[in-house]
Structure 1
Amino acid sequence: MNDQPIDGRLVSLSRAEIEDLLAAAAARGARQALKDIGLDNGEAREDIRELRSLLGALRLARRTAWQTTVRVLTTVFLAALLALAGIKLKLLG
């Protein structure tokens, strides 16, 4: 560290004062970060809740799309098997 005097005096802080200073700086930095991304107003909590809800809906839609795709492919495969079995048994022509 630099032990050079400031205005002719060394600055000396207790551990508690340093922790308070760090906590204040962290809080100020967090407020600035929220402000930088536009979440510094009173509606930020609701905005985050809505974003989480949208992400949940997107995940559900993606899962449903995969399930539907698998069901359609399974149905097509089974229908083809039945058609082939019908042809083989001369039920369909």
Structure 2
Amino acid sequence: MRNETVLAQLIEQAKEDGADIATLRAIAEEAGELSAQRALARLGLEDVGAAKDMAELRELLGAWRDAKRSALKAAFSWAGRMAAALVLVGLAVKLGFPGWLK
């Protein structure tokens, strides 16, 4: 039995029975289940391999974030080393180090 049919039957039952709390809870539960299934279907995640796909995507996203963080660290480290080298070259020129080489 499809969820749409179950939901329609529960709504009809609620209409006939005067909508007691158990019936309304069942309607809400079925509506939530149906909505979740529709949302997953629209996202293309309704098949049995979806959980594995999501785990792989999360792993890939984590790896991307780690790589990005490492690249930024390397770039800042490189920039810091270049700045230190420029300061040392500036000091050497200011103190006359090229004259010491002659």
Report the TM-score, using the length of structure 1 for normalisation.
0.82
1:23-63 CA distance string (max 9 Å, x none): 01110111111111111110010111011111111111111
Does the 8 Å CA contact 1:83/1:92 hold for their aligned counterparts? no
SS of residue in 2 equivalent to 1:38: coil
Q: Give the whole-Å Cα distance in 2 for the aligned partners of 1:25 and 1:90.
A: 82
2:73 to 67, 78, 91: 67
1:25 counterpart = 2:31: yes
Give the unaligned 5+ runs of structure 2: 1-11
Q: CA deviation at 1:92?
A: 3.0
The question of 1:54 aligning with 2:32 is answered no
Aligned to 1:86: 92
Number of aligned residue pairs: give it.
86
Cα RMSD (Å): 1.8
Write the distance in 2 (CA, Å) between the matches of 1:42 and 1:76: 52
Shift of 1:10: 5.5
Q: Which amino acid aligns with 1:62?
A: K
Higher RCO (CA 8 Å, separation ≥ 6 residues)? 2
Name the structure with the higher helix share.
2
Identity %: 29
Instruction: Give the aligned residue type for 2:73.
Output: Q
Q: Is residue 34–residue 40 contact of structure 1 (8 Å, CA) maintained in 2?
A: yes
Q: Which runs of 5+ in 1 are unaligned?
A: 1-5
